[in-house]
Structure 1
Amino acid sequence: MRSRIIMSMLTGGILTMSLLLGAGPASATTSSARSASHAPSPATVAPPDEFGTDWHDPVTAAPPVARPNSRSCEVTLAETQFRDFTPYRGTYTPPRGCGDHWSKVVLRVEGKVKGRQFDRLGYLHVGGVEILRTSTPEPSPDGIEWSVEKDVTRYSETFRQSRDVEMLIGNVVDDTYTGVIDVKATLTFYAGRPAHTPDRVLTLQNGTLTTPRNSERIVAEVYATGSGGGCEEFWYLTVPDTAPYSCKAAGGPYREVQITVDGRLAGIAAPFPTVWTGGWSNPFLWYVIPGPRAFDVQPITYDLTPFAGLLDDGRPHRVEVSVVGVPAGQTGWSTPVNVLVWQDAKSRHVTGGLTVHQVGDPVGSPVYTPGQENRLDTQGGHRFTVAGYVDTSHGRVTTTVSRTLANTSVHRWTEGEDQDGLDATWTDDETVTVHGLGPVRAAHTRRTYTMDGSTTIGTDGRLRTVLTLADRAAVVETHGGRRAAWSLLDDTYTGDAAYTTTVPRDQRHAVGTTSERYRLYGSQGCYDRRLTTVQGALTENRDGC
């Protein structure tokens, strides 16, 4: 590739773990696309020979949010257009007629855009709490519509009183980039037996956190995204300064998202290698089926309960998020933080302490081998264990969190980057164990992310990208040593698309086949769905369960 910067011009898991343990990733059953019907059926139109001026509206194979069969109330959060980088600001008012404790709360964002436009990154805040981080599809000249749904029940405490609303999808509209983004965001509240949700949802104030003094469980979630149009948008392809490549980082491509409390490491995590809809130099890969998580960015979760005894002193504590591997002084990562807190209703002050804090050094060892085909081999990883206790009204509870990260990748490219490929795997292995309140409970989550792709540019200017991107997770919960719940997630995207570069849009003769299969099996059932597109036409929409 002549300049990896052109890969994208972005400007801007599975079954939920039990609320008591909270060790798993955010639920993967949180998003769906408007055009993806709940009753899959094959497309009825034959695909064209190449991409034209219109294509199928964006769809994902992810399951729709399950909705209760109960009385509901809808509130509009925002209805606006984005033409620049001016945020929408409004006021949220709680719904009437559905009470103030709900069985479920569902966010739905509907968008439409037409003309020419890049992919854009956006967020939605209610009372300062980030309830959605998203990106947009790139439009057809004739226009597209899409939607994102998300289960936001865990933020119920935020929704119980009037709050400020802020939403932004940073955009540029001029004579060339004509796409104005129309958006409507709503919350639907369902009456019924209230869900067991956090008592408080907090945000950082000037980088500090002050928790209620009777907090007995604390979980931080970080919507970490590498973005902004620079090299951190595709951090997994960066190379050491000594290697001849367009994107450099002294330590190579190893990245790790860390959270600290008063300067002490409190959690580690592997970031998901999100690919936005202009990524890998080839928007034809993503016009209809986006990559996993692109429309609904999942937060990284950190169980900070071992630190509850320290945080419950009524004083502000500094909480900071950083990304290992980012070159000094370089921006490119956004890391907003929400903190979910469960309180001991029968105690005014929960005391406790930190008992174990074992931290190794993060390891990233890129090895560059020059040649006609340059090669960078990277191995990285980190281990972390922390334990702490809280003395509650129902006895002492000890929480232990252990997390192990690993990354291996092989990056190959030729001079001028006309051939450029990556084969990479990231694992994030986490176990949360709780002693107290009855039998020992444990939740083990193993997250695995893989990327295998290549981009080539021929002497005729024909660019071809072949890519497979997978988001996988396995979760096992045990009570007293016996398995209580389990789930397996495999969300795999594959694509193969080509077009002619350096010619007007109508002369690109673009073709492409893409597919996504989303499989979720476990103790709570089965979901299996497959989508396939050819030249932007949806040719397969099949349910496998």
Structure 2
Amino acid sequence: MAASCVHLAFLLCFMIPATIASPRSLRESPADASWPTTFFEVDRPLRPPSGSSGPCSTLLLSTSFGSTFAKPPATAAYSPPRCLAAAGGRASAISLAVLEWHATCRGAQLDRTFGVWLGGAELLRGSTAAPPPNGIVWSVSKDVTRYASLLAAGRSTLAVYLGNLVNSTLPGVYHANVTLHLYLRRAPATRPPPATAPADLVVPVSRALPPNGGGLWYQIQSATDVQSTSVALPSNTYRAVLELYVSSHGDDESWYTNQPGYRNGPFREVTVRVDGVLAGAAWPFPVIYPGGIYPLLWRPVAPIGSFNLPTYDVELTPLLGKLLDGKAHEFGFAVTNALDVWYVGANLHLWLDPGSTTTTAGLTSYVAPPANAASSQSGDPVDTHYQATANRTFSATGWVKSSYGNITTNATQTFGLEYTLTFETLDRTTVARAGVSATDHAGGVLYTEQTRRSFPLGWIYEQGRLTVTHGLDETTVAAGRWWTGPGYRSVRITQSSVVEDEEGGGKAWGVRQAYRYEATDGCYLRNVTSSGYGVVSDHSNKVCVKGGAVRATSAGDGAVRAALPAVAGAGKAAGLVRN
């Protein structure tokens, strides 16, 4: 086997790329090549709470991205919309804030990474689609209510970076509009419950623009690379949460498919350090970009999380004892086993005590053993099996004394990875659990939140057919005297994409995706099937039926894996592939 074929993640390169190289093997144009194709990521609509007014919509920026790689971002002056000022200008007047990215591109182009920042705080990171020659159009809507204090703070600068390269082969220029939609509370805004409402202050932990431009994210280029910056916290902080943005590129774009012993293996962990001490971690969701693995798999339905990359919260409240001394502290980021390059950035969400100018805090327990990772390889030289496992636990407890009393906060994280790779198949699942609980001096629960995420990913290649299954299963249970949001919230997404050889050397492809959101305040179902560039069916419902095939429950990882074959098999029923 040639050296370039050692990495099975590149789609068993001696079997598939022969068809990739043939121009007639790709159906690059829909039936009507004069119209752009609408690409989309399956998601739920964002609806404001009852009694809200709006939307009040403001176009923040409209620009084009041609040859923009390593150049400064496009910028625009930002001021809070007039409707917010008319409502008193307070962040608490915002019931829902939605940031909309709408873009078009005519002409062939690759998928590119973009980011949106306000005052240096990252609001959105995503990938563009990989457009066919006839062009594309797509939109992303993200709930940015948690940045309400930033949106209401006053004049600032909006920055948008999209590193695009244009040449005779890839002439596509991306044209983008960024719009903010605000929904406001009709009743006079009152101060929301402490600690669980949007933070009083959002502090960017991002890179200053270098002279040659680029995005505001840190670039992690190796397993030993640590990027950091100094931040001083306000003296009256009583809760702190670090929100992480991460994405993999270059040599590590498809890290999640690496076989053990190749390109540092399939395990990656993003660690957060405060003054060099581990403060928490994130095990990234395996985001597949729209041009990843095999581009036809994601046309027109984009891979899960690719247009709106997920973020990861790290609870820092137990560590406030070392952060409230009035001095600047180093916040650092690293990626275990990283290759060049990872983009990492963060926002520090801080809750401030309105009843005092100074809070005091202390750490009572801290447990952070090293992550465990192991791998093995079968001895069969023909049908080699690779296996890998990893796990990590973290726990910290601390107290904070403020005008709300003496509050003890416990934060925990546990992670696990199972990975198996053979010549024809990949099967991996990451499970991440995070918990935070805050109690008063008498032991009463002020708020508690437990979240479980599962990220299954697999593929199988047989008889000229490649099937990639992808999923996200997230469940959150929350309660307490200060908690006002949904007590239960579950999102379960399964996606199966198929591409296979046709007689005459062409390709047929299609996607089947099921989306289910279920919470104490409502639910939403959506099932989409596509064939080629066309959508065969798209059904949605606001009513969840108990006992459904993809019912959101507290079931274990087996439930997620059991759902995936059924979704993949639906491709045949929809006529996506042929027997």
TM-score tier after normalising by the smaller chain length: 0.7 to 0.9
Structure 2 counterparts to residues 106-117 of structure 1, below 5 A: 106-117=98-109
What letter corresponds to residue 517 of structure 2 in structure 1? L
Specify the alignment match of 1:422 in structure 2: 426
Structure 2 counterparts to residues 11-90 of structure 1, below 5 A: 51=27, 53-54=29-30, 56-67=37-48, 69-84=52-67, 85=69, 86=71, 87-90=73-76
SS in 1 for 2:256: helix
Match of 1:393 among 403, 408, 411: 403
Specify the alignment match of 2:531 in structure 1: 534
Higher mean C-alpha displacement, 393-402 vs 440-449: 440-449
Contact 1:50–1:535 at 8 Å: present in 2 too? no
What letter corresponds to residue 358 of structure 1 in structure 2? V
What letter corresponds to residue 79 of structure 1 in structure 2? S
Distance in 2 (CA, whole Å) between partners of 1:52 and 1:403 is 45
Distance in 1 (CA, whole Å) between partners of 2:337 and 2:529 is 36
Deviations 1:433-454 (A, max 9, x none): 1111873132211111100113
Instruction: Work out whether 1:182 is the aligned partner of 2:175.
Output: yes
Higher mean C-alpha displacement, 378-387 vs 363-372: 363-372
What letter corresponds to residue 263 of structure 1 in structure 2? G
Contact 1:54–1:143 at 8 Å: present in 2 too? no
Specify the alignment match of 1:312 in structure 2: 324
Specify the alignment match of 2:488 in structure 1: 486
Distance in 2 (CA, whole Å) between partners of 1:484 and 1:340 is 20
What letter corresponds to residue 248 of structure 1 in structure 2? R
Question: 1:73 offset after TM fit, Å?
Answer: 3.0
What letter corresponds to residue 390 of structure 2 in structure 1? G
Distance in 1 (CA, whole Å) between partners of 2:182 and 2:107 is 35
What letter corresponds to residue 341 of structure 1 in structure 2? L
Higher mean C-alpha displacement, 434-443 vs 374-383: 434-443
SS in 1 for 2:384: strand
SS in 2 for 1:294: coil
SS in 2 for 1:277: coil
Question: 1:307 offset after TM fit, Å?
Answer: 1.2
Higher mean C-alpha displacement, 465-474 vs 519-528: 519-528
Distance in 2 (CA, whole Å) between partners of 1:172 and 1:183 is 16
SS in 1 for 2:83: coil
Question: 1:189 offset after TM fit, Å?
Answer: 2.2
Instruction: Work out whether 1:218 is the aligned partner of 2:240.
Output: yes
Contact 2:204–2:347 at 8 Å: present in 1 too? yes
Distance in 1 (CA, whole Å) between partners of 2:506 and 2:174 is 27
Specify the alignment match of 2:342 in structure 1: 333
Contact 1:57–1:145 at 8 Å: present in 2 too? yes
Question: 1:7 offset after TM fit, Å?
Answer: 5.1
Contact 1:98–1:190 at 8 Å: present in 2 too? no
TM-score by length of 1: 0.82
Contact 2:7–2:259 at 8 Å: present in 1 too? no
SS in 1 for 2:422: strand
TM-score by length of 2: 0.77
Instruction: Work out whether 1:432 is the aligned partner of 2:436.
Output: yes
SS in 2 for 1:155: helix
Specify the alignment match of 1:298 in structure 2: 310
Structure 2 counterparts to residues 262-273 of structure 1, below 5 A: 262-273=275-286
What letter corresponds to residue 437 of structure 2 in structure 1? T
Question: 1:286 offset after TM fit, Å?
Answer: 0.6
- Higher relative contact order by CA 8 Å / sep ≥ 6: 1 or 2? 1
Specify the alignment match of 1:39 in structure 2: none
Contact 1:497–1:513 at 8 Å: present in 2 too? yes
Specify the alignment match of 1:442 in structure 2: 448
Q: Which structure has more helix as a fraction of its residues?
A: 2
Relative distance call for 1:316 and 1:497 in structure 2 (3 A) is same
Specify the alignment match of 2:459 in structure 1: 453
Distance in 1 (CA, whole Å) between partners of 2:460 and 2:525 is 28
SS in 1 for 2:53: coil
Specify the alignment match of 2:219 in structure 1: none
Distance in 1 (CA, whole Å) between partners of 2:450 and 2:406 is 22
Specify the alignment match of 1:239 in structure 2: 259
SS in 2 for 1:97: helix
Contact 2:123–2:144 at 8 Å: present in 1 too? yes
SS in 1 for 2:150: helix
Instruction: Work out whether 1:157 is the aligned partner of 2:140.
Output: no
Specify the alignment match of 2:83 in structure 1: 97
Deviations 1:258-315 (A, max 9, x none): 11111111112221010000111x1111111111111111111101111123212111
Contact 1:530–1:541 at 8 Å: present in 2 too? yes
Match of 2:117 among 84, 100, 125: 125
What letter corresponds to residue 234 of structure 1 in structure 2? S
Question: 1:161 offset after TM fit, Å?
Answer: 1.2
Specify the alignment match of 2:519 in structure 1: 522
Specify the alignment match of 2:466 in structure 1: 465
Distance in 2 (CA, whole Å) between partners of 1:352 and 1:200 is 19
Instruction: Work out whether 1:284 is the aligned partner of 2:289.
Output: no
Match of 1:346 among 313, 338, 355: 355
Relative distance call for 1:165 and 1:479 in structure 2 (3 A) is closer
SS in 2 for 1:518: strand
In percent, how many aligned pairs have the same letter?
27
Contact 2:515–2:526 at 8 Å: present in 1 too? yes
Question: 1:204 offset after TM fit, Å?
Answer: 2.8
Higher mean C-alpha displacement, 171-180 vs 363-372: 363-372
Relative distance call for 1:487 and 1:430 in structure 2 (3 A) is same
Distance in 2 (CA, whole Å) between partners of 1:5 and 1:127 is 42
Question: 1:177 offset after TM fit, Å?
Answer: 0.6
Question: 1:487 offset after TM fit, Å?
Answer: 2.4
Specify the alignment match of 2:15 in structure 1: none
Question: 1:361 offset after TM fit, Å?
Answer: 1.6
Contact 1:7–1:278 at 8 Å: present in 2 too? no
Distance in 2 (CA, whole Å) between partners of 1:492 and 1:290 is 13
What letter corresponds to residue 47 of structure 2 in structure 1? A
Contact 2:273–2:331 at 8 Å: present in 1 too? yes
Instruction: Work out whether 1:380 is the aligned partner of 2:372.
Output: no
What letter corresponds to residue 211 of structure 1 in structure 2? L
